[in-house]
């Protein structure tokens, strides 16, 4: 599908640069793609070799060095893949952090829940997948209502409320870790998705009005890339954590439960950071009024 959209865009979209000297930054694109791939691959390997392996830390070090190289390149290059000046606006930066964490947790947890259902609760693959369905369908109803609510308020308060509900849903996985049932999994994920849908779409909408019209394409590109990558990285990291526990060669049910609990704690910590980011952006928005 992505390949089809790519070629449709090439042959049907005729976008003129704002300045004649503007050209696509192929070097920056290649370097950024390499960094994103390597970080993903690093955590994918950790599920097999463990987080204490020199293999993991070596790959992570290379990733960090490439990130530094990309930063230096972007500072001195005449071409820029994305106009990073958009991040001089603190509201945009905080929104991007919250946006990343929402999707990171959302997609990562979508991997963890079926693992818990199958290996801990003994459910089959069909039931494990169906647990996610009510929460997934919730977005069809909530997302447009959340946008309408923020339009009426003319403030990003729904984003903060969404993060609060999101955090409550995340905390319930920890509180009821020893008593989890299929019904609890459905309910907690449903609550978490309610918070997600209140905040997610509104976050990029509010970020886009913070910049000049000519920078809206940079906002869209940055946030959409972040959305895709956060899901990929979230799945990799949460899967790696469970995989590391399963490497201990103990009972699969016990190791999966231990890995899932670690994932729940990580989710809760990240949800707190996301709420903090949403609150800061809300405060700064209200101060500008």
**Would you call 184 exposed, middle or buried from its count of C-beta atoms within 10 A (0-12, 13-18, 19+)?**
middle
DSSP assignment string, 115-181:
HIIIIIS---HHHHHHTTHHHHHHHHHHHHHHHHHHHHHTSSHHHHHHHHHHHHHHHHHHHTGGG--
Range of the domain at 220: 88-288
CA distance 209 to 216: 8
Q: How far apart are CA 57 and CA 255, in angstroms?
A: 23
Domain boundary among 81, 113, 137: 81
Count structural domains, the chain: 2
Residue 165 has pLDDT above 80, yes or no: yes
Looking at residue 33, its pLDDT comes to 83
How much is the pLDDT for 141? 87
Judgement on whether residues 112 and 186 belong to the same structural domain of the protein: yes
Q: Are 190 and 53 contained in the same domain? A: no
Domain boundary among 31, 48, 81: 81
Q: Please tell me the distance from the alpha carbon of residue 75 to that of residue 70, in angstroms, as a whole number.
A: 9
Residue 249 clears pLDDT 90, i.e. is over it:
no
Same domain, 149 and 224: yes
One domain for residues 96 and 42: no
- In this prediction, residues 172-194 reach a mean pLDDT of 94
Q: Which of 24, 53, 81 is the last residue of a domain?
A: 81
Q: Say if CB 233 and CB 107 are below 8 A apart.
A: no
Residue pLDDT, tens place only, 200-223? 999 998 988 888 877 887 888 888
The candidate with the shortest Cα–Cα distance to 198, out of 174, 222, 225, 168, is: 168
Q: How confident is the model at residue 198 (pLDDT cuts 50, 70, 90)?
A: very high
Say if residue 192 is in the same domain as residue 66.
no
Query: In the structure, what pLDDT confidence band is assigned to residue 84 with cuts at 50, 70 and 90?
Result: confident
* CB-based burial, 95-133: b 16+ in 10 Å, e otherwise: bbbbbbbbbbbbbbbbbbbbbbbbbbbebeeeebeebbe
Prediction pTM value? 0.84
pLDDT tens, position by position, 96-109: 999 999 999 999 99
CATH code for position 213: 1.20.1250.20
Q: Supply the angle between the helices 216-246 and 26-49 in degrees, to the nearest 10.
A: 20
Average pLDDT value for the chain: 86
Same domain, 69 and 53: yes
| Amino acid 55: pLDDT | 81
On the question of pLDDT at 17 being above 70, the answer is no
Q: How far apart are the first and last CA of the chain?
A: 42
Q: Could you tell me the pLDDT band of residue 18, with boundaries at 50, 70 and 90?
A: low
* pLDDT score of 242 more than 80: yes
pLDDT at 41 over 90: no
Greater pLDDT, 198 or 10:
198
pLDDT for residue 116: 93
Residues 71 and 96 in one domain: no
pLDDT of 86 higher than 90: no
């Amino acid at each position: 599908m992505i390949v089809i959209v790519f070629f449709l865009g090439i042959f049907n979209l005729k976008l003129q640069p704002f300045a004649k000297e503007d050209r696509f930054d192929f070097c920056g694109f290649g370097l950024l793609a390499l960094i994103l791939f390597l970080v993903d691959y690093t955590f994918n390997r950790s599920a097999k070799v463990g987080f204490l392996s020199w293999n993991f830390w070596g790959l992570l070090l290379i990733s960090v060095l490439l990130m530094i190289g990309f930063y230096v390149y972007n500072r001195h290059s005449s071409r820029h893949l994305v106009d990073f000046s958009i991040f001089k606006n603190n509201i945009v930066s905080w929104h991007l952090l919250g946006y990343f964490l929402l999707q990171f947790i959302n997609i990562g947890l979508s991997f963890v829940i079926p693992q818990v259902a199958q290996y801990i609760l003994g459910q089959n693959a069909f039931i494990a997948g169906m647990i996610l369905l009510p929460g997934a369908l919730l977005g069809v109803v909530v997302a447009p209502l959340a946008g309408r609510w923020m339009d009426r308020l003319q403030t990003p308060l729904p984003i903060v409320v969404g993060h609060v509900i999101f955090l409550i849903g995340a905390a319930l996985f920890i509180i009821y870790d020893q008593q989890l049932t299929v019904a609890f999994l459905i309910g907690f994920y449903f609550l978490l998705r309610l918070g997600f849908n209140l905040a997610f779409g509104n976050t990029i909408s509010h970020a886009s009005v913070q910049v000049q019209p000519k920078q809206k394409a940079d906002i869209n590109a940055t946030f959409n890339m972040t959305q895709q990558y956060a899901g990929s990285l979230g799945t990799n990291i949460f899967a790696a954590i469970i995989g590391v526990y399963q490497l201990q060669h103990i009972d699969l049910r016990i190791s999966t439960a231990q890995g899932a609990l670690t994932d729940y704690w990580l989710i809760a910590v990240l949800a707190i950071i996301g709420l903090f980011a949403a609150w800061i952006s809300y405060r700064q928005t209200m101060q500008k009024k």
